[in-house]
Amino acid sequence: MNEKDLIQDPDTGSTGEINISGVTANVRSFFKRLSEDQGIKNFFRKFILIITFAASVIFVLVFFIWLVPALQEIPSGGKTALTNNPELKQDAGYKRLTSQMNRDLQRLSRKYNSFTSGQSYLVINTTDNLFHLYRNKKQVREGFCSSGSYKMLQTVEGRSWIFKTPKGKFTIQDKRVNPVWTRPDWAFVEEGLPIPARDHPTRYEYGVLGDYALSLGSGYLIHGTIYKRFIGMPVTHGCVRLGDEDLEVIYRTLSVGSKVYIF
Amino acid sequence: MNTEVNVRPFYRKISFIVISSLLVAFMIYHTVMSVIAPARKLKEIHEKYGFVQNQKNPVDERIFSDSAFISLMREKAYFQSRVAMAGTDSIYMTINLADSTVNLEISGVVVHTTDIKKQHISSILSKDEYSVLNMLSAPLVIERDYSTIMKEPLMIKMAPKDTSEYQPDIIPDTADFEPVNFILVMDNSINIYVYQEEKLKFGDGFRRFVFDLRDRLKYTAASLARTASFRVPDYRPFIKIRLSRADAKRIYRALPYHGQVGLYR
């Protein structure tokens, strides 16, 4: 059994003999032929050389790109060791500095809180097309809205408009019931229509802005829409569109002077 | 003829040894210079924001390692930067590393808040508390940013010549298909890395790796250029945070090009 192993076939039950010494001899002779063949030797030498070179290049790159920055982050001395020394707390200089620091903190805290008034305000998230209505610093309603499409309309003459909702802090400047839309130039250009005179009757469209509109200035409004299936999508020309119920609640909650935060 | 054949491998060997030795020497030299860089940066911060002793009214400097005093300083630095930013009408970001939260604020009103999933900060930002906190008491201003998504996904549409060409359209947001990773380079050379936490699609991890590699290559090239000219490389203290994809996108899109950031650590 040392030189020959018997292997039983599980299906047929027959046994086959494998001559291990024969296999070893064959392998040995293969490697002997390989070592004698100059062409194969050269090939392997070149192959190992290329692998070594590639590994060295990779090591150098990894060294400069990852290893050196990692070494820079190895914590060394100089880290502030925080203490709690009761003797130091009795020091007059310590008392003076900490009381000054506490006064500064109170002043800053008061100033910071003064920025947030208790008035109702609206927050509009243009990335997700969501709105959040706050009263007394608590959220009272949230829902979907539509904001600017980020479409840039260009004419062959070189005129262009970017339809995006402005971001930052705004103030409600005006509130209207049953608003009438005065169509700007881009509304005609977008549909391939000729631009009419400023006071032409085709400029005025009734019922397309919903029941209410709140003006943010510079022509931007918060209003309703007849295209309700698009609410929650970035499809507007810069205004903020809301569903009828949400618009009514917002109209009744916010007053002229209320803040609208758009991000 | 035989001599020539024997001489060539010798020169080859010598040149290989010389080149390898030079490379190893440069690697050691670059490592030493790079390891010096953070200490040098900390020294710069200390010189600019460190405590200056008043000879008439001297202060016991042990106070700057007192935990209660440092805690008050942290609060004050954070409030100072927030008050300064709240004075503008612009959107700004506050990063609270102690609470692991990121806020978007406008004029003192928190309009969005999110949790940091993972964070990693430069070791020098934990050293010399007094100077570092003094530096953070002013808002950090974004000098430039690099991102995998567009800040404003503008789509150009040519106006139709007449009504027959008019076609109403709905524009999909392209960023819904891309991973969100961005780097904010601040004016005081702190870099804020914001990476998407989730790997939502096949290849998201690889794209983050490529984005990170591109930044590392830029940094490495700049460092090598400096060490090659016998100067200490510029060290960039960093804050690396991971957020959910949706929050990373909201924050990147909301921040203005030269927006401000407040940091609490």
The string of DSSP letters for A161-179 reads EEE----EEEE--EEEES-
pLDDT band at B172 (very low <50, low <70, confident <90, very high): low
Point out the least confidently predicted range of A42-51, A226-235, B49-58, B226-235.
B49-58
Please give the model's pTM, rounded to 2 decimal places.
0.86
pLDDT band at A79 (very low <50, low <70, confident <90, very high): low
Model pLDDT, residue B128: 87
Q: Is the pLDDT of residue A85 over 50?
A: yes
Which of B28, B32, B62, B66 to mutate to probe the A interface, most A CBs <10 Å?
Answer: B66
Q: Is B17 an interface residue toward A (CB < 8 Å)?
A: no
Interface pTM, i.e. ipTM? 0.87
Q: Tell me how close the Cα of A4 comes to any Cα of chain B, in angstroms.
A: 50
Q: Of chain B residues 63-102, which have a CB less than 8 A from chain A? A: 63-70, 72-73, 75-76, 79-80, 82-83, 86, 89-91
Strands B182-186 and A220-223: unpaired
Mean pLDDT of B175-196: 91
B237 vs A7, residue with greater confidence:
B237
B2-51+59-264, which class in CATH?
mainly beta
Q: Is B34 an interface residue toward A (CB < 8 Å)?
A: yes
Q: Are residues A146 and A219 located together in one domain of the fold?
A: yes
pLDDT by residue (tens digit) across A162-180? Answer: 999 999 999 999 999 999 9
Counted across chains A and B, CB pairs separated by less than 8 A come out at 206
Separation CA B52–CA B131 (nearest Å): 11
Q: Is the pLDDT of residue B121 over 70?
A: yes
Q: Are residues A49 and A127 located together in one domain of the fold?
A: no
Q: Which amino acid is at A168?
A: G
Nearest to B216 among A60, A65, A81 (CB): A65
pLDDT band at A96 (very low <50, low <70, confident <90, very high): confident
| 3-state SS class at A104 | helix
| 3-state SS class at A188 | helix
pLDDT band at B258 (very low <50, low <70, confident <90, very high): very high
Model pLDDT, residue A2: 47
Nearest to A101 among B76, B90, B159 (CB): B76
The angle at the Cα of A172, spanning B111 to B88, to the nearest 5 degrees, equals 50
Separation CA B245–CA B117 (nearest Å): 11
Mean pLDDT of B102-107: 96
Q: Of chain A residues 111-170, which have a CB less than 8 A from chain B? A: 111-116, 121, 123, 125-128, 149-156, 162, 164, 167-169
pLDDT band at B171 (very low <50, low <70, confident <90, very high): low
Q: Is A79 an interface residue toward B (CB < 8 Å)?
A: yes
Q: Is the pLDDT of residue A76 over 90?
A: no
Q: Could you tell me if residue A64 is inside a domain?
A: no
Which helix or strand (DSSP H or E) is residue A118 part of?
none
Mean pLDDT of all residues in chain A? 89
Task: Find the closest chain B residue to A119 by CA distance.
Answer: B109
In the block, residue with structure tokens 């007449």: B162
Mean pLDDT of B114-118: 97
CATH value at residue A137: 2.40.440.10
Q: Are residues A36 and A153 located together in one domain of the fold?
A: no
Q: Of chain A residues 86-105, which have a CB less than 8 A from chain B? A: 88-89, 91, 93-94, 97-98, 101-102, 104-105
- The rounded radius of gyration (Å) of the Cα atoms in chain A is 39
Mean pLDDT of all residues in chain B? 90
A123 vs B201, residue with greater confidence:
A123
Burial state string for A22-54 with b = 16 or more CB within 10 A and e = fewer than 16? eeeeeeeeeeeeeeeeeeeeeeeeeeeeeeeee
Q: Is the pLDDT of residue A182 over 70?
A: yes
A164 vs B52, residue with greater confidence:
A164
CB contact under 8 A, A155 and B216: no
Q: Are residues A42 and A169 located together in one domain of the fold?
A: no
Q: Could you tell me if residue A109 is inside a domain?
A: no
The angle at the Cα of A193, spanning A188 to A199, to the nearest 5 degrees, equals 55
Model pLDDT, residue A78: 57
Q: Is the pLDDT of residue B112 over 80?
A: yes
CB contact under 8 A, B249 and A127: yes
Which of A64, A165, A229 to mutate to probe the B interface, most B CBs <10 Å?
Answer: A64
Chain A positions touching B19 (Cβ under 8 A) are: none
Q: Is A263 an interface residue toward B (CB < 8 Å)?
A: yes
Q: Are residues A142 and A255 located together in one domain of the fold?
A: yes
Separation CA B37–CA B24 (nearest Å): 20
Separation CA A173–CA A218 (nearest Å): 10
pLDDT band at A4 (very low <50, low <70, confident <90, very high): very low
Q: Are residues A164 and A256 located together in one domain of the fold?
A: yes
Q: Are residues A244 and A167 located together in one domain of the fold?
A: yes
**Segments forming the whole domain that contains residue A162:** 121-262
Q: Tell me how close the Cα of B100 comes to any Cα of chain A, in angstroms.
A: 21
Number of compact structural domains in chain A: 2
Q: Could you tell me if residue A114 is inside a domain?
A: no
Mean pLDDT of A206-212: 95
Q: Is the pLDDT of residue A213 over 80?
A: yes
Q: Is the pLDDT of residue A33 over 60?
A: yes
Q: Are residues A49 and A133 located together in one domain of the fold?
A: no
